[in-house]
Amino acid sequence: MERILAFLVGALALLKDIVHGRRTRSPTNAALLRELAGEKSATVLDLSLKAKVSQPAALAALIEREEKGLIRLTAEGGAEHVRIAAITEAGRQEVARFSKIGP
């Protein structure tokens, strides 16, 4: 139940940003991709701590990045399942692209 609530809070935050037109390239998205680029894979919790964002916000941003093909997330597997994110080649290219043009 807690994970469902966390997901819903993250989804609402994402929806709010979409409505306000702020989902181009946020610092959160950049930080999450940069963290993943430095590792082979990481848990959503570890990424949220390193990027200094809430776990629901990190999950919402990661789901958005997955839809764009920049990362892969393991499937939701219930209350005891830990979701793991891994960067794709397209994600690495995105990190390289925005590293060249700045934050």
Q: Which of 8-12, 26-30, 94-98 has the highest mean pLDDT?
A: 94-98
The answer to whether residue 94 scores a pLDDT higher than 50 is yes
Mean pLDDT, residues 39-68 taken together: 91
pTM of the model: 0.69
Calculate helix-pair angle for 55-67, 2-19, nearest 10 degrees.
Answer: 60
Of the pLDDT bands very low, low, confident and very high (cuts 50, 70, 90), residue 29 is confident
Listed ranges 12-16, 92-96, 99-103; the one with the highest mean pLDDT = 92-96
Average pLDDT over residues 7-18: 67
Taking all residues of the chain, what is their mean pLDDT, rounded to a whole number?
A: 81
Query: What pLDDT is stored for residue 42 in this prediction?
Result: 93
- Listed in sequence order, the residues at least 6 apart from 86 whose beta carbon sits closer than 8 Å to its beta carbon are 36, 40, 41, 71, 72
The topology under which CATH files domain 2-101 is Arc Repressor Mutant, subunit A (1.10.10)
